């Protein structure tokens, strides 16, 4: 069996490309499947949560209407008068009272279809709307949990979770009671009736027994709302009070709330949202919301598998089909790619063989501009340039020798230059040309300062001395058209400065600033210490700089080569925080500000 390295390059390329594609493709497919599953699961979870929240809001709307009606009835004058003058010992009076109270209740509760029954309870009566069956016994109502809840609410609506009729009212009706009597829930309110007489509020409390309004529901109202909206099989719903008492739910028939006390505390704390909990060792998704009216918690539980069961097979199939299609397409591309790469390699190998035999005129047609095409192009260039490189190497050596000879011929000894200037100086003195002599001496000093010292910086005293020589020579040309003033703080002489950092600005003032002046030009050169910086200014009273030109100079653009060079040298030596700034006004002159640190480094 041949080793892998002995296989053809075409097959190695194909196999390598197939592996490079297949492994990441498998990983990406798996990640895509997991990401899609998580995304859709989260979407389904949020959708389930929105269903729970919407159902809860619908129930809250219904129950809030009941609370509003029960609150509005407190001001009903008929009820106030009937319970104020109630006479339990007068049968006729009680019949009359029952009719009037029933008619009053009809005005507030006839359109609420979800209510199982409505009762106005006292120790001596149980009155409901017209035609309603008064099934709650009133004789011992004051000993029931409903009555105690109403008293605890002190006029506020109180909601009592699911209770059994016979247990609540201590009645043995096991043979005749309807099935729904086993599970009832109620909202109770102690009606603090009042009447308004001539603007005075007169309360019934203290004058007669206050009735208790009991509005009874069957848990079926929650079953009809939640059971029909569950999105998939395997989901169950529950309604519980914050203390864990069952109200309604899928498992309530077996006396189970379907809620674990461990995550009931979390729901009470969070009030609304989703949880992932563990029940019987298996994960469970809980979507819940707390009623703003009753305070009860409505929720739906479902396992992650049941939640994903509807869409998981489709995601698996889609991912598998996509991965297989991409793999087949990649293998086809690998085959085409291997052939495309191998063909120019064979051509290149044949050409290299000919070149090795000395045939430098060998050429390969360039059919592409990728790396292989570039390699072939470079191979063709190599054959063309081999002779050129040999010839160029010979010419370079020849030019190096010629340059060396020329350099030796034109090299001047600085001492020869100084001796020549000295001869010119003595000649000027012999001819009594003292101004010319001073100019030659100044030029000699300037050349000595610039040629003998190769450092970037120099002493301030030497810099000012060089500048004075330059100004002297320039002043001879401009025939005393200007004067120069110096005001340099003595402590500045202890520090070094960039070489020739003042000359470009003095030259600019003389050549441009005084171009229209015949006399009276003034240049002021100042230097002082300012905190941790050294400040220098070059100020002239020339014609100033036009705004457009000034903007170019400030940006160090245009033909301001000297200014640019000084600013760049300062920044290179001391850093970007230092440099020059310009201010100018036409007809008033120009001020150049130079900022240097207190440092010789």
* Of 110-114, 330-334, 401-405, the least confident: 401-405
Residue bearing tokens 């030259």 = 507
383 vs 448, residue with greater confidence: 383
Query: What tens digit of pLDDT does each residue of 211-226 get?
Result: 999 888 887 777 777 7
- How confident is the model at residue 403, as a pLDDT? 41
Residues 358-374 as b or e (16 or more Cβ within 10 Å = b):
eeeebebeeeeeeebee
183: Cβ contacts below 8 Å, ≥ 6 apart:
162, 163, 164, 218, 219, 252
- How confident is the model at residue 59, as a pLDDT? 86
Residue bearing tokens 């020549």 = 420
Task: Place 516 in a pLDDT band, splitting at 50, 70 and 90.
Answer: confident
What's the topology of domain 453-597? Heat Shock Protein 90 (3.30.565)
Beta strands in 130-234 (DSSP E): 158-163, 184-190, 194-197, 200-203, 212-217
- How confident is the model at residue 106, as a pLDDT? 85
Region 244-252 average pLDDT? 76
- Terminus-to-terminus CA distance in the chain, angstroms? 73
pLDDT of residue 6 exceeding 70, the answer is no
* Angle 302-305-307 from CA coordinates, rounded to 5°: 50
> What is the Cα–Cα distance from 126 to 214, expressed in whole angstroms?
10
- How confident is the model at residue 251, as a pLDDT? 67
Beta strands in 165-263 (DSSP E): 184-190, 194-197, 200-203, 212-217, 236-240, 246-249
Task: Place 475 in a pLDDT band, splitting at 50, 70 and 90.
Answer: confident
- How confident is the model at residue 525, as a pLDDT? 94
126 vs 321, residue with greater confidence: 126
Over pLDDT 90: what percentage of the chain? 10
Region 193-222 average pLDDT? 86
- How confident is the model at residue 490, as a pLDDT? 94
H-run or E-run covering 487? strand 482-488
* Residue closest to 510 by CA, chosen among 498, 526, 522: 522
* Residue closest to 3 by CA, chosen among 19, 345, 341, 12: 12
Region 44-65 average pLDDT? 85
Helix (H, G, I), strand (E, B) or coil at 183: coil
> What is the Cα–Cα distance from 240 to 247, expressed in whole angstroms?
5
Two structure tokens written together for 24? 């990441």
Region 262-271 average pLDDT? 86
HSE value, Cβ hemisphere, 13 Å, CA-based, for 70: 29
* Of 103-117, 396-410, 516-530, the least confident: 396-410
* Longest Cα–Cα distance in the chain: 157
pLDDT of residue 278 exceeding 70, the answer is yes
Give me Rg for the CA atoms of the chain.
53
Region 137-157 average pLDDT? 85
Over pLDDT 70: what percentage of the chain? 72
* Angle 60-63-68 from CA coordinates, rounded to 5°: 115
- How confident is the model at residue 591, as a pLDDT? 92
Residue-range domain boundaries for the chain: 76-214, 360-409, 453-597
- How confident is the model at residue 129, as a pLDDT? 80
The DSSP call for residue 510 is I
> What is the Cα–Cα distance from 247 to 224, expressed in whole angstroms?
14
> What is the Cα–Cα distance from 550 to 536, expressed in whole angstroms?
19
Task: Place 186 in a pLDDT band, splitting at 50, 70 and 90.
Answer: confident
498 vs 368, residue with greater confidence: 498
* Residue closest to 16 by CA, chosen among 330, 344, 372: 330
388 vs 528, residue with greater confidence: 528
pLDDT of residue 137 exceeding 70, the answer is yes
pLDDT of residue 515 exceeding 70, the answer is yes
């Amino acid at each position: 069996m041949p080793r892998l390295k002995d296989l053809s390059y075409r097959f190695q390329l194909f196999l390598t490309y197939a592996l490079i594609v297949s492994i990441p493709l498998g990983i990406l497919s798996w990640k895509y499947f997991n990401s899609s599953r998580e995304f859709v699961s989260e979407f389904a979870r949020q959708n389930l949560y929105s269903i729970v929240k919407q159902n809860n809001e619908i129930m809250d709307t219904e129950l809030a209407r009941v609370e509003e009606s029960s609150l509005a009835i407190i001001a009903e004058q008929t009820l106030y008068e009937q319970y104020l003058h109630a006479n339990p010992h007068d049968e006729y009076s009680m019949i009359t009272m029952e009719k009037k109270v029933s008619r009053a209740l009809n005005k507030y509760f006839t359109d609420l279809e979800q209510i199982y029954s409505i009762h106005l309870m006292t120790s001596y009566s149980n009155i409901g709307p017209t035609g309603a069956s008064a099934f709650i016994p009133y004789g011992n109502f004051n000993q029931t949990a409903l009555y105690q809840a109403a008293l605890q609410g002190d006029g506020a609506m109180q909601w009592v979770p699911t209770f059994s009729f016979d247990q609540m009212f201590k009645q043995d009706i096991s043979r005749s009671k309807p099935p729904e009597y086993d599970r009832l829930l109620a909202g109770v309110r102690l009606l603090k009736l009042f009447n308004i007489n001539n603007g005075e509020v007169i309360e019934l409390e203290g004058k007669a027994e206050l009735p208790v309004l009991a509005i009874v529901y069957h848990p079926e109202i929650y079953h009809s709302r939640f059971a029909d909206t569950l999105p998939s099989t395997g989901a169950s719903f529950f309604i519980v009070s914050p203390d864990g008492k069952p109200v309604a739910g899928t498992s309530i028939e077996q006396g189970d709330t379907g809620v674990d006390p461990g995550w009931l505390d979390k729901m009470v704390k969070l009030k609304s949202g989703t949880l992932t909990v563990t029940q019987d060792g298996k994960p469970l998704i809980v979507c819940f919301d707390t009623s703003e009216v009753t305070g009860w918690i409505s929720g739906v539980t479902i396992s992650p598998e049941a939640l994903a069961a509807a869409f998981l097979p489709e995601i698996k199939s889609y991912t598998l089909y996509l991965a297989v299609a991409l793999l087949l397409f990649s293998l086809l591309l690998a085959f085409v790619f291997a052939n495309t790469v191998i063909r120019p390699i064979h051509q290149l190998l044949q050409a290299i063989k000919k070149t090795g035999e000395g045939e430098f005129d060998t050429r390969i047609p360039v059919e592409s501009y990728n790396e292989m095409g570039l390699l072939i192009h470079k191979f063709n260039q190599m054959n063309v340039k081999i002779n050129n490189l040999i010839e160029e190497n010979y010419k370079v050596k020849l030019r190096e020798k010629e340059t060396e000879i020329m350099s030796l011929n034109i090299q001047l000894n600085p001492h020869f230059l100084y001796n020549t200037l000295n001869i010119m100086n003595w000649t000027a003195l012999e001819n009594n040309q003292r101004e010319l002599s001073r100019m030659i001496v100044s030029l000699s000093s300037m050349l000595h300062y610039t040629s003998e010292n190769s450092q970037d910086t120099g002493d301030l005293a030497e810099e000012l001395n060089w500048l004075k020589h330059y100004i002297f020579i320039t002043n001879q040309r401009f025939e005393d058209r200007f004067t120069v003033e110096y005001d340099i703080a003595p402590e500045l002489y202890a520090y070094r400065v960039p070489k020739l950092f003042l000359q470009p600005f003095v030259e600019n003032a003389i050549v441009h600033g005084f171009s229209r002046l015949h006399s009276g030009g003034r240049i002021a050169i100042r230097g002082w210490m300012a905190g941790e910086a050294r400040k220098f200014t070059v100020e002239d009273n020339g014609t100033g700089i036009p705004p457009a030109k000034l903007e170019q100079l400030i940006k160090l653009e245009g033909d301001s080569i000297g200014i640019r060079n000084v600013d760049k040298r300062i920044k290179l030596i001391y850093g970007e925080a230092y440099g020059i700034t310009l201010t100018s006004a036409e007809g008033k002159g120009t001020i150049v500000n130079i900022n240097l640190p207190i440092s010789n480094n």
